[in-house]
Amino acid sequence: MERPGWAPQGIDLSVPSVSRIYDYYLGGSHNFEVDREAGRRAIRAFPGMPRIMQANRAFMRRAVRYAAGRGVTQFLDIGSGIPTFGSVHEVAQEADPECRVVYVDHDPVAVAHSRAVLEGNERAGVLSADLRKPAEILRSAEVGGLLDLERPVALLLVAVLHFVPDEDDPWALVAELRDALAPGSLLVLTHAATAAGQAKPEEGEKVKEVQHVYRTIGSPLCTRDHADVARFFDGFTMVEPGLVPIPLWRPGPGDAAGEGPAADDPVLAAGFAGVAGVGRRP
Ligand SMILES: C[S@@+](CC[C@H](N)C(=O)[O-])C[C@H]1O[C@@H](n2cnc3c(N)ncnc32)[C@H](O)[C@@H]1O
């Protein structure tokens, strides 16, 4: 397969990537046929996938506006993905042009495209790093140059922690990041979750099929229950309405048309839709 200009040298074009499949769900153009094929398999099992992803992006934008509205103007977005319409820096800098953003991802396409999109933006940068190495992120030149960790930061871990298996202890990783944040900082998080007692058996089968797709591409999807996701907020005070299905986190007039599915969308009520929350470091 020919390598398009936006794809960095050295990436394996025959292996699907999480960020490019996600880009495909969202209707983006930075994906290959292998990614689209994996995405189509997931969508066949779970036709609501693209709407869930739109709901996830819409939550992220609401949470960024929430942070900026409370004077938190620094954003550390880990697992930031391939920038698409309405990215963190666009929403944040629209709310307050002084906002500073550092994107972090371990996917070369996500990093290369972020770099291209951010060119000329002095208040935003991108770092190629792994969430499983928080110290490298915190000590990086990008974080040091753009963010002041003595002041509040909004740490975004949106749709990424479910790619970190239990054996890598994602709770310890989040705690390490939390401990580096000043009081008043925010944790903004979404996570694939099966609502206990809510999912029907046939939904369970669909989830297993989606998990199979991600396992075959080498990035297992770890859905977690509500209690295990809530543990990521240890040391934070939950902002109302707490940890809830993604579209239920402060839906409102701030959502532009097309921002995502309605809160009562049956697909999103099915249990696999995932949960969202924002916590504040006291
Ligand atoms: C589903 S996308 C979410 C993108 C964005 N946060 C959003 O919600 O719109 C997950 C992203 O996390 C990245 N990712 C997964 N595991 C990671 C890790 N260990 N370190 C850094 N990035 C990771 C993937 O490359 C991908 O870009």
Exposure letters 91-116 (e unless 16+ CB within 10 A, then b) = bbbebeeebbbbbbbbbbbbbbbbee
Asked if the structure places residue 227 within a domain, the reply is yes
- How much distance in Å is there from the Cα of 77 to the middle of ligand 1? 9
| Widest Cα–Cα separation across the chain | 51
The pTM for the full model equals 0.93
Asked if the structure places residue 258 within a domain, the reply is no
| Residue 130 CA, closest ligand 1 atom number | 20
> Tokens 């942070």 belong to which residue?
67
Write out the two tokens for 230. 């809530």
Asked if the structure places residue 3 within a domain, the reply is no
pLDDT score of 253: 60
Asked if the structure places residue 109 within a domain, the reply is yes
Domain boundaries, position 48: 18-250+266-280
Task: State if residue 107 touches ligand 1 by the CB under 6 angstroms criterion.
Answer: yes
Asked if the structure places residue 261 within a domain, the reply is no
pLDDT in tens, the chain (282 residues): 677 777 787 778 888 999 999 999 999 988 999 999 999 999 998 888 888 888 899 999 999 999 999 999 999 999 999 988 789 999 999 999 999 999 999 999 899 989 999 999 999 999 999 999 999 999 999 999 999 999 999 999 999 999 999 999 999 999 999 999 999 999 999 999 875 444 566 667 778 888 898 999 888 999 899 999 999 999 999 999 999 988 889 986 655 444 555 555 655 555 556 899 999 999
For residue 247, how far is the Cα from the chain centroid?
A: 15
Asked if the structure places residue 78 within a domain, the reply is yes
Write out the two tokens for 208. 């297993």
- How much distance in Å is there from the Cα of 157 to the middle of ligand 1? 8
Asked if the structure places residue 172 within a domain, the reply is yes
- How much distance in Å is there from the Cα of 19 to the middle of ligand 1? 6
Number of structural domains (the chain) is: 1
| Residue 190 CA, closest ligand 1 atom number | 8
- How much distance in Å is there from the Cα of 60 to the middle of ligand 1? 13
Q: Whose CA is nearest to atom 27 of ligand 1?
A: 81
Distance spanning both ends of the chain, measured CA to CA: 51
- How much distance in Å is there from the Cα of 79 to the middle of ligand 1? 3
Task: State if residue 136 touches ligand 1 by the CB under 6 angstroms criterion.
Answer: no
Nearest to 209 by CA among 97, 42, 53, 48: 42
What residue type is 80 in one-letter code? Answer: S
User: Residue 71, SS3?
Assistant: coil
pLDDT score of 197: 45
Task: State if residue 19 touches ligand 1 by the CB under 6 angstroms criterion.
Answer: yes
Please give, one letter per residue, the 3-state secondary structure of 189-251. Answer: EEECECCCCCCCHHHHHHHHHHHHHHHHCCCCCCCECHHHHHHHHCCCEECCCCCEEHHHCCC
The CATH number of whichever domain residue 198 belongs to comes to: 3.40.50.150
